[in-house]
Amino acid sequence: MGIATSHPTGSRTRTALHPVRDREGRREPIDIVANPLGGEDPALARAVEAELRRLLSGEDVGPVEVRFRICRDETDGLRFICKVENPPFDGEGVRGQWRWWSPLLSTAEDFRDAFREGLRVRRERRAA
């Protein structure tokens, strides 16, 4: 069972490509909370999610929540943004909360390049 996002596109509300996990039970390391791309371009949604999982596999970011939003205009067509962040947590952690917002993107390759750069900046800041 999927969850409808609060951001309708056109006259219909889109559902997330993957269902939202039970928040009271277990938390997935990568929780894709909303991906309305699945209703517009399923191949793009799968490609972007695969890039996200691949790039995060070698990073020590802890659990993250991921949200995608669609932006459409007459000139450029379908474009999207992505937000990746650690969920809020109680207690002290060495890791600290991290958040990344993408620029406006059109392709999985655009996403890969932007997210790779965001992870590079994160690593540099943690090393300083």
Q: What is the pLDDT of residues 57-84, one digit of tens each?
A: 989 888 999 999 999 878 878 999 999 9
Question: Read out DSSP for 109-125?
Answer: HHHHHHHHHHHHHHHHH
Structural domain range at position 99 = 30-127
Query: Is residue 93 assigned to a domain?
Result: yes
Instruction: Classify residue 106: in a domain, yes or no.
Output: yes
Look at residue 21 and tell me if it is in a domain.
no
pLDDT band at 90 (very low <50, low <70, confident <90, very high): low
Secondary structure (3-state) at 1: coil
Does the pLDDT of residue 51 top 50, yes or no?
A: yes
- 25 CB-contact burial (10 Å; exposed 0-12 / middle 13-18 / buried 19+): exposed
Structural domain includes residue 113: yes
Report yes or no on 13 lying in a domain.
no
- Global pTM? 0.74
Provide the domain count of the chain: 1
Within-domain flag for 89: yes
Asked if residue 40 has pLDDT above 70, the reply is: yes
The pLDDT of residue 2 is above 50: no
Q: 3-class SS at 45?
A: helix
b (16+ CB within 10 A) / e for 56-66: beeeebbebbb
Residue 18 lies in a domain: no
